[in-house]
Amino acid sequence: MRVLVSGSRGLIGSSLVPFLAAEGHAVTRLVRGPARPGGAEVPWGPQQGRLDPGMLEGHDGVVHLAGENLASGRWTPERKVELVDSRVKGTRLLAETLAGLTHPPKVMVCASAIGYYGDRSDEVLTEKSSSGHGFLSDLCREWEAASAPAEEKGIRVVGLRFGVVLSPVGGALKKMLLPFRLGVGGRLGSGRQYMSWIVLDDVLVIVLRALTDDTLAGPVNAVSPGPVTNLDFTRTLGRVLMRPAVFPVPAFALRMVFGEMADETLLASNRVQPAKLQAAGFTFGHPDLEGALRHVLGK
């Protein structure tokens, strides 16, 4: 396939591009700023509404991962606007442009997040579950709805709702490694909130499956089938690193540092199951948390 990838320099995209190439697919990067001479790149300006349709012709599939980092700082009113615009405007621009092509791609795989479901205690959540309440849930609804022009054109749209992606080179796990290696890691808040996680290796295979499996469409939970509480996660990480995990971070301290983001990400409970992937017979390479952590950390 010829695959167009946005967000190719992020945690998932930077691994996805060489993975797809190794599988024999030709990858074009959708990049902000000027394209490198001789590189397989297409420039775009999602905030300015700038994207040349002619440069998108001939692609069989699109993987849209671009968006500002949700966990990069407090959610000030200005930051909220940036987070929404980077996802909604970019997705709508890309979907509308693809829908207007003479030969549109067959599939568009779009990133989303399990934040769609909101804080749901120990409720088991599948793709059929309703969305939650709060800024992150609202953002995810708008984000997913922005791909509608592509779907209306007949392009198969897959919305991958990612959980916590485990990788030592980025994301939540990277931030946790230093305090845990120093022996000062521990649960967040009560520790009773569920964490739905997935290793980066499985994410790459899921994206490829979404590109090639015509039976997958609509929202798809990209999480492992073994969600755990934050307390269990921290204990397991401590055991893998052979360090104690007995220094909890109180909820009030997290709220002082991160504000609203603490309640909707660090303290929110998301017990999500990958029902559609399981129904499609997908086999997870790392469904068990301890085995997954040992794999990604080389332990």
Q: pLDDT (tens digit, 9 = 90+) per residue, 209-258?
A: 999 999 999 999 999 999 999 999 999 999 999 999 999 999 999 999 99
Calpha distance 113→138 (Å, rounded): 11
pTM confidence score: 0.96
The pLDDT value recorded for residue 73 is 81
The pLDDT value recorded for residue 36 is 82
- Give the rounded percent of residues in the chain with a pLDDT score beyond 90: 94
The pLDDT value recorded for residue 112 is 97
Residue 294, pLDDT above cutoff 90: yes
* pLDDT tier for residue 72 given thresholds of 50, 70 and 90: confident
Report the CATH number at residue 10: 3.40.50.720
Is beta strand 2-6 parallel, antiparallel or unpaired with respect to 61-64?
Answer: parallel
Range of the domain at 55: 2-297
Give the residue-averaged pLDDT of 116-137: 97
Residue 71, pLDDT above cutoff 90: no
- Give the rounded percent of residues in the chain with a pLDDT score beyond 70: 100
Record the tokens describing residue 123, joined without a space. 């409720």
Alpha-carbon dihedral sign for residues 286, 289, 293, 299: negative
Instruction: For residue range 34-43, list pLDDT tens digits in order.
Output: 888 777 999 9
The pLDDT value recorded for residue 34 is 82
Start-end of H helices in the chain? 13-22, 77-99, 135-145, 148-152, 171-181, 200-212, 230-241, 251-258, 260-261, 275-279, 289-297
Number of domains in the chain: 1
Q: How far are the Cα atoms of 75, 157, 161, 183 from residue 258, in angstroms, in the given order?
A: 8, 34, 23, 23
Whole-number average pLDDT of the chain = 96
The pLDDT value recorded for residue 167 is 96
Of the given ranges (26-40, 49-63, 81-95, 177-191), which has the lowest mean pLDDT? Answer: 26-40
Calpha distance 110→199 (Å, rounded): 18
Calpha distance 228→267 (Å, rounded): 13
Start-end of H helices in 100-199? 135-145, 148-152, 171-181
Residue 29, pLDDT above cutoff 80: yes
Give the residue-averaged pLDDT of 256-268: 94
* pLDDT tier for residue 24 given thresholds of 50, 70 and 90: very high
